[in-house]
Amino acid sequence: MLLLSSTLATSLSYALAIFNQVPNPTIFLFNTLISSSLTAKYRHTHVAFSLYSRILTHTSLKPNNYTYPSLFKACGCHPWLQHGLALHTHVLKFLEPTSYDNFVQASLLNFYSKCGKVGVCRYLFDQISKPDLGSWNSILSAYAQNAGSLNGVSSNNVDDINLSLEVLFLFSDMQRSLIRPNEVTLVALISACADLGALSQGSWAYAYVLKNKMKLNRFVGTALIHMYANCGCLDLAYKVFDEMPERDTFCYNAMIRGYAIHGRGQEAIGLFEKMGNEGLVPDDVTIIVTMCACSHVGLVDEGCNYFESMADYGLEPKLEHYGCLIDLLGRAGQVKEAEERVRTMPMKPNAILWRSLLGAARVHGNLEIGEVALKHLIELEPETSGNYVLLSNMYASLNRWDDVRRMRKLMKDRQINKMPGSSIVEVDGAMHEFLIGDKTHPHTREIYLKVDEMSRKVQEYGHKPRTGEVLFDIEEEEREDALSYHSERLAIAFALIASASSLPIRIIKNLRVCGDCHASTKLISKIYEREIVVRDRNRFHHFKDGTCSCSDYW
């Protein structure tokens, strides 16, 4: 056995040769070799499954609790995912439910988490009578990893928000169970706070790390950078970045992305250069977030140069990189050039690229390209309301109300409902959500009085409602009311009533900020002398003293 252990450290093939000479290997020997063949050093998944097959065909051996955890871990990536499902049936076949230990349960949780099957994870977790730290970490990570997205501010999808909220609820249950969290726990918690924009809870998690002298490793640090950036606190994000004892590519990606979504393109480029000076090599994500940073501030030449430089780092452009390129050109008004790139790219464009082109066509009034983009989008995503709304808004801005009605009829015939705008505002650590025209909040009367006051004051400052952006073909006065009761207006009104005047107002919106709300919020920030930070589905807007950090380029 000592000989086997020593040879494993030097040569897996030599270890296998010795193992094959053992006349009657025990299940302990099989498990040892399976585990060793799946270490970070070897990762020979086919060898591990070959050994497992030998166990199954052996007349006197049966898999046990120590056989499965390593195998499930190996099944967490393509092309081995399908084998994990078969392994689960073997667990049910060979192990008594009462004999499952926490390692088997945690490995099952991790496997289904990587498959994106959060419901299965929760079912398995609920079968555990006394979950240990590993089991808690597995279920928390399952929810956290399947919520949100990397390249945008957040998906702002209702399902993703619910997943992130569940992390917070589960963490509260974990605290009541008296299980002490570790770094893995905190990464899941902080990641959920990032998706929710829950600054108070995320800051509490960081304070917990400091108070308990937990290691600010690259995983915890990267999650904190992501959280602070997503909560609109870019200075705090950089403070964490600067204090990290070691930084890797993932850490740099998180900070560059933070600069990107806050419209700080030059700082993002500076960080990209610093990354190279530290000897770190950019990966696919580095190029994406740096191009996004260029896109948000109109640095077209610089963004194109990063795209063209990918070969220098041994990278080939993927759909995501072409998506950044189309967005870069489209935002800058180079809509025809963007369309040409879509048509000539080496792979088939997906809905994200066509929607980016449609959005650019709407902003810059290129109706011909907008209609072409919508035609492709209807083929790819016939039930996505936002595609129809984008083109309908373009027709409305041109006063082509017959075409607006045609789009509305098309949506009605296909039973497609417009996604309602929603905004979340955090006040005293509690999250308050508002929909357009929402009257469900306990303070609805006070909120609507404040909205009316806000509308009156911005009009006194000369603001004229941009009623052409309202989708519905209704009377002018009713269109103005529809704009006044957009979800972010209600959220701002509530924050003005319920929060201290010295605090910034932080809002998360699931849709792109409309032009009228953007213009109004600039004035509201000046009139009420409040900083207002709005995170929409694409980026952050910092409103202060009547201006916005985006310089009206969004």
**Token pair for 221:** 């640090």
Instruction: Assess contact for 353 and 324: CB atoms under 8 A.
Output: no
pLDDT at 470: 56
Confidence of residue 104 (pLDDT cuts 50, 70, 90): confident
Residue 235 pLDDT exceeds 50: yes
**Token pair for 182:** 């570790």
Task: Write the CA distances from 66 to 28, 29, 105, 467, 519, integer angstroms.
Answer: 8, 11, 12, 66, 62
Give percent above pLDDT 90 in the chain. Answer: 56
Residue 538 pLDDT exceeds 60: yes
pLDDT at 151: 45
Using CA atoms, how far apart are residues 372 and 336, in angstroms rounded to an integer?
A: 12
Residue 41 pLDDT exceeds 90: no
Residue 55 pLDDT exceeds 50: yes
Residue 150 pLDDT exceeds 50: no
Q: Average of pLDDT values for 260-265? A: 95
pLDDT at 148: 57
Confidence of residue 477 (pLDDT cuts 50, 70, 90): very low
**Token pair for 392:** 């309908």
Instruction: Assess contact for 387 and 381: CB atoms under 8 A.
Output: yes
* DSSP SS3 for 543: strand
Beta bridge partners of 472: none
E-strand ranges in 333-448 read 422-427, 430-435
Using CA atoms, how far apart are residues 267 and 255, in angstroms rounded to an integer?
A: 10
Residue 467 pLDDT exceeds 70: no
**Token pair for 94:** 């060979």
Residue 3 pLDDT exceeds 70: no
pLDDT at 168: 94
Spell out the residues 6+ positions from residue 18 whose beta carbon is closer than 8 angstroms to its own.
3, 4, 7
Kindly write down the DSSP assignment for every residue of 241-264, as one continuous string: HHH-S---HHHHHHHHHHHHHTT-
Chain length of the chain: 554
Residue 180 pLDDT exceeds 90: yes
* DSSP SS3 for 317: coil
User: What is the SS3 string spanning 41-56?
Assistant: CCCCHHHHHHHHHHHH
Which residue has better confidence, 474 or 463? Answer: 463
Q: Per-residue pLDDT tens for 79-92?
A: 777 888 899 999 98
Residues 139, 141, 142, CA angle at the centre, nearest 5°? 60
Nearest to 141 by CA among 111, 161, 179: 111
Please give the DSSP secondary-structure letter assigned to residue 467. Answer: G
Most confident of 152-156, 172-176, 195-199: 172-176
Cβ-based neighbour number of residue 517 at 10 Å: 26
535 exposure class (CB count in 10 Å sphere: 0-12, 13-18, 19+) = buried
User: What is the SS3 string spanning 496-517?
Assistant: HHHCCCCCCEEEEECCCCCHHH
Using CA atoms, how far apart are residues 188 and 134, in angstroms rounded to an integer?
A: 13
Peptide bond into 79 cis (omega under 30): yes
Place of tokens 């994000």: 237
Q: Per-residue pLDDT tens for 114-134?
A: 888 899 999 999 988 888 898
Q: Per-residue pLDDT tens for 374-431?
A: 889 888 988 888 888 878 888 887 888 898 888 888 888 888 887 788 899 989 888 8
* DSSP SS3 for 427: strand
Distance from CA of residue 417 to its chain's centroid?
Answer: 24
Mean pLDDT of the chain: 88
278 exposure class (CB count in 10 Å sphere: 0-12, 13-18, 19+) = exposed
Nearest to 194 by CA among 232, 230, 242: 230
Q: Per-residue pLDDT tens for 306-365?
A: 999 999 999 999 999 999 999 999 999 999 999 999 999 999 999 999 999 988 998 898
Using CA atoms, how far apart are residues 462 and 178, in angstroms rounded to an integer?
A: 58
Spell out the residues 6+ positions from residue 118 whose beta carbon is closer than 8 angstroms to its own.
112, 142, 143, 146, 163
Instruction: Assess contact for 107 and 72: CB atoms under 8 A.
Output: yes
pLDDT at 20: 87
Spell out the residues 6+ positions from residue 73 whose beta carbon is closer than 8 angstroms to its own.
38, 107, 110, 111
pLDDT at 102: 74
